[in-house]
Amino acid sequence: MFRKLSLITVLFLTFSTAVYADFNDGVFAYANGDYEKAWQTMMPLAQNSKHPYAQYYLGVMFAKGQGVEKDEKEAASWYLKASKQGVKEAQYRLAQMYSKGKGVPQDYEAAYAWYKVATHLGHKKSKLALDPAKEKLTDEQFAAALQLADDYIEKYGEAPNLGKRNQGQ
């Protein structure tokens, strides 16, 4: 039994190390403008490993049309996946999309809620966006947005459990 457990642990650690090495290769390719390689690296990580920062980078690539055709709906989809895993930059960008109605229906309550979650995680731009977002809401909508934000913070208000060097931040 112990031997089987040790083998599983070694396989998991090997896989985890390979995932993070691949992710770092993808970030390096992205930073150097090699969007095709970044795409080829990030897509399997985002889909198969559900790597939250790979999902975030795919959102950025779709939003900006880097290595793929610009597609705001697809960007919002990847941002949502990363947001639900606690990536504060994805939460901020998703909130912006809701605020502007880009890739998602315009929804000021959802925008406020995602800004609030990202603020909870320490995202400075989100904190600055809260007051302007609140101004777009009636008192009733603001109360609903606060409730939604509380629900989201409970579900998505914890940063991914990855080493800092692997977060792409």
Query: Residue 137 pLDDT more than 70?
Result: yes
Q: What one-character DSSP code corresponds to residue 163? A: -
SS3 content of the chain, % helix, strand, coil (to 5): 75, 0, 25
Give the model confidence (pLDDT) of 48-90 as tens digits: 889 999 999 999 999 999 999 999 999 999 999 999 999 999 9
Kindly report the number of other CB atoms within 10 A of residue 24's CB atom: 14
- Coil vs helix vs strand at 1: coil
Closest CA to 25 of 49, 8, 41, 45: 41
Cα torsion at 88, 90, 92, 94 (round to 10°)?
A: -150
For the whole model, what pTM was predicted?
A: 0.84
